Structure formats: structure tokens, C-alpha cells
Amino acid sequence: MVLPNPVSHLRAVDTDDGVYATVSEMGDAENISKSYVSRILRLALLAPDIVEAILSGKGNRGMMLEPLERPLPGSWGEQRDLLTHLGALPSKVTGWS
């Protein structure tokens, strides 16, 4: 299973037309669903070390996808704690405790 790279997807919805006022407006402009835009934008708020763990294969891919499809805490520490507790990340991703 390949997880999406949030950066590449965000570039796909970033246009020269300017800033969109809503997720719906962004989805309409790019001909993608509001739900998909919301999920991808949520990935942009992940802690950098979590993104690195996903892209480098350090995370448990079988356990990673489901939590990422749901709202995550805004705090990077809480994101790490939750994903570690769910078994999606090793106990220390990049030295964070």
C-alpha cells in the first residue's frame, strides 16, 4: 500500500489563481471532491518527523492509514503519542520521546 505524499497533492491544488476561500471552492477549481481536499490538507498539518517516517517507510503502513483518515490533534506531540499508541509509529520516530 502506498500512502499519499501530502506535499505533491498540495501542489496539485495550488494554482496561480490565488487563495481559495473554502475547501469547496478549492475542490471545485481543481475538479476534486471537498472530502479529498480536506483529507489532503489535514496531512499538511502532520509533524515533520511523522511525514518523514511515512515517506521513509518507518511507520507501520497497515496501521497508519486509518488514523490519518480521521482528524488528528493539532499538537505534534499529541499526534506522535496517538500514532505511537495505535501502533502506527515506532516508540521513537526521530528521537522524540
Q: Which residues form the domain of 89? A: 46-97
Query: pTM score > 0.85 for this model?
Result: no
Q: Which of 27, 44, 61 is the last residue of a domain?
A: 44
How many domains does one find in the chain? 2
Cβ-in-10-Å burial (0-12, 13-18, 19+) of 38 comes to middle
Condensed to tens digits (0 to 9), the pLDDT of residues 38-69 reads 888 888 889 999 988 888 888 887 788 888 88
Region 18-36: what's the mean pLDDT?
86
Residue 3 banded pLDDT, cuts 50, 70, 90: very low
Residue 5 banded pLDDT, cuts 50, 70, 90: low
Region 63-78: what's the mean pLDDT?
88
DSSP letter at 59 equals: S
**Which uninterrupted H or E stretch holds 68?**
helix 61-68
Whether residue 54 is found in the same domain as residue 97: yes
Length of the chain equals 97
Specify the pLDDT at position 67.
Answer: 87
Whether residue 56 is found in the same domain as residue 91: yes
